[in-house]
Each structure stands twice: as structure tokens, then as C-alpha cells.
Amino acid sequence: MQSNRGDIRKELEDRIATIQKKIGKLQEERSSIDKKLQDAESKLNALRVVYQIEAERFGEYKAPLIPSAGKSYRFAGMRLIDSIALIRKERPGIDKKGVLAILEREGFDFRGKRPLPAVHFAWVALERKKKGSR
């Protein structure tokens, strides 16, 4: 018969249960934050639509890529790949460094990613997406 001396399984089970509860709570918080983020992005997109309608009403069909003064909100909330696609549509023949320069001047939020590699990978993904749709 083995003695239970040195058997720490019960203590480990308690620790595991505690950590699982913490993980559950964090997942609930993340869910709540994701929902709030989704709501904010929906509101931002609605405001973009209204802004575009108003711009067209006053004869400005699209916001300038590089504003002369102040900070533009043109790419606010957009995914990097969508921003790059928009720039490439408006400026055919532009290269990655040109796109990066525009995004940086516009104050694009790279969300902690290194800008040049982020642009490169989004560029490659966009190329793959284009080839797949042909």
C-alpha cells in the first residue's frame, strides 16, 4: 500500500480549477470587449457612409489620400489589406514603400505591428486574393 505522503495531486487539482475559472472569466471579458469593438466599428462604418454622402453632396467625391493639413480619418478602423487595396486602386503602379508612406502620413494604426513587414504581408495576401478571384 502506497502512502499519500508527497502526493500533491489534490493541490494541483485545486490550482487547475482556480486557473480554469480565471480563464473563463477572461474569456467572458474578451467576449464583452469584442462585442463593444464590433459595435464601435459598425458605428464608424455608418459614419463613413454618411460622410461620403455629404462629401458627394458638396462635390467632393473622395477624400484626398494625403491631406494638406491635420490628420485624415480616411483609413480609421479599416483593415490593412483593405487600405492597401484602396490605395492601389487609386494609384495604379504604386509600390509597397509608396503605400507605406501614404499610410504613415495618414496616421494608419498598425496596432503594434512593424509597418514595413505588415504592408509586405498584406500586399502578398492581396495578390493571392486577386489571383484566386480570376
* pTM beyond 0.75, yes or no: no
The domains of the chain are located at 1-61, 80-133
For 43-62, write each residue's pLDDT tens digit. Answer: 887 887 787 778 777 776 55
Residue environment code for 24-59, b if the CB has 16+ CB neighbours within 10 A, otherwise e: eeeeeeeeeeeeeeeeeeeeeeeebeeeeeeeeeee
pLDDT bin (cut points 50, 70, 90) of residue 67 is very low
For 106-125, write each residue's pLDDT tens digit. Answer: 888 887 889 999 999 999 99
Dihedral of CA 79/83/86/89: which sign? negative
Angle at 83 between CA 79 and CA 85, to 5 degrees: 115
